[in-house]
A and B are shown apart, each in its own frame.
Chain A
């Protein structure tokens, strides 16, 4: 009954390959995210989806494409993998809620991460 799950946990692949990382949340949240943590441990947001609509797209190469088949899933597809794509990728979700008339985004729940190694 994991809240935010990711598969696979580890992914080792060759340069130039295409791969996908799957994310699922069973919390009923309406917003999902992808973050990348590089070898220096800097954690940066990549994408954010709200109700299957892209709302944040940071400066990420277009080789990365998020796909949201439904509200509970946000998968990350990566084309033509490069050495610099090696990192840990975290999926997260949150539930927006109203507070005093303003939309207030609640805390984000993170998945366990997927360690991608490109050889």
Chain B
């Protein structure tokens, strides 16, 4: 049921910016783009979300294209602790559930 497409895996050098792409070409006008990550053996962790404007918080930046068919999560200075599976999720206001896809396994290389 996931409506997003992500690369299965990516590597990034420690200290560099990690750019994780996500395609959501069937997104509808009232659907938001959410990003979560799951560090090995832990529960998923919320990162950021947006509707159509770019967003930034203390963890990451979210860039959404003007047509909203794709987005990019940016971790500006990746650390080893950012190694995790990153999930891009498209969701509407209701029902109140997250539909996880297969995500991108990001490995930060020392």
Choose one: A42, A55, A104, A112; the contact of B95 (CB below 8 Å).
A55
Minimum Cβ distance to chain A for residue B70 (Å):
22
**Cβ-based interface call for A56 (8 A):** yes
Interface residues of A (CB under 8 A from B): 4, 31, 33, 35, 41-45, 48, 50, 55-56, 58, 90, 92, 94, 96, 102-105, 107-113
Choose one: A50, A90, A102, A104; the contact of B43 (CB below 8 Å).
A90
Among B21-29, B60-68, B71-79, B98-106, the stretch in contact with A: B98-106
Inter-subunit contact B96/A94 (CB<8 Å): yes
Q: Which residues 41-56 of B have a CB within 8 angstroms of A? A: 41-46, 49
Inter-subunit contact B102/A42 (CB<8 Å): yes
**Inter-chain contacts of B45 with A (CB < 8 A):** 110
Inter-subunit contact A96/B96 (CB<8 Å): yes
Minimum Cβ distance to chain A for residue B48 (Å):
9
Inter-subunit contact B43/A45 (CB<8 Å): no
A8 to B42, CA, bound (A): 14
Inter-subunit contact B97/A45 (CB<8 Å): yes
Given A43-B44, A110-B44, A113-B43, are A105 and B99 also a contact pair (CB < 8 Å)?
no
Inter-subunit contact A108/B94 (CB<8 Å): no
Inter-subunit contact A44/B100 (CB<8 Å): yes
Inter-subunit contact A107/B43 (CB<8 Å): no
Minimum Cβ distance to chain B for residue A89 (Å):
10
Inter-subunit contact B95/A56 (CB<8 Å): yes
A28 to B102, CA, bound (A): 31
